[in-house]
């Protein structure tokens, strides 16, 4: 997340989606990843830990 904040200091436009994805990972995806341990995973959930973390990461980079 800190790396994303550093990126804000020197860059404000991204040439392509690959560059934008990296930025989104740092500023939004990492927030999702850090939120999982705080919010937890419901004991009755059938989702794997890996799928929960992947979903949390995707929240920062989904384009709909």
Instruction: Quick: pLDDT tens for 12-60.
Output: 899 998 999 899 999 999 999 999 999 999 999 999 999 999 999 998 8
- Inside any domain, residue 7: yes
- Inside any domain, residue 37: yes
Host domain of residue 36: 2-58
2-16 per-residue burial string, b: 16 or more CB within 10 A, e: under 16: eebeebeeeeeeeee
pTM over 0.85: no
CA pair distance 41, 49, nearest whole angstrom: 8
- Inside any domain, residue 64: no
- Inside any domain, residue 63: no
Cβ–Cβ contacts within 10 Å for residue 49, how many? Answer: 10
- The total number of structural domains in the chain stands at 1
Asked whether the CA dihedral 5, 6, 9, 14 is positive or negative, the reply is negative
SS3 33: helix
- Inside any domain, residue 14: yes
């Amino acid at each position: 997340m800190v790396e994303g904040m550093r990126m804000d200091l020197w860059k404000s436009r991204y040439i392509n989606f690959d560059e934008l994805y990296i930025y989104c990972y740092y500023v939004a995806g990492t927030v999702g990843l850090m939120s999982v341990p705080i919010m937890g995973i419901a004991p009755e959930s059938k989702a794997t830990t890996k799928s929960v973390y992947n979903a949390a990461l995707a929240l920062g980079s989904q384009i709909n």
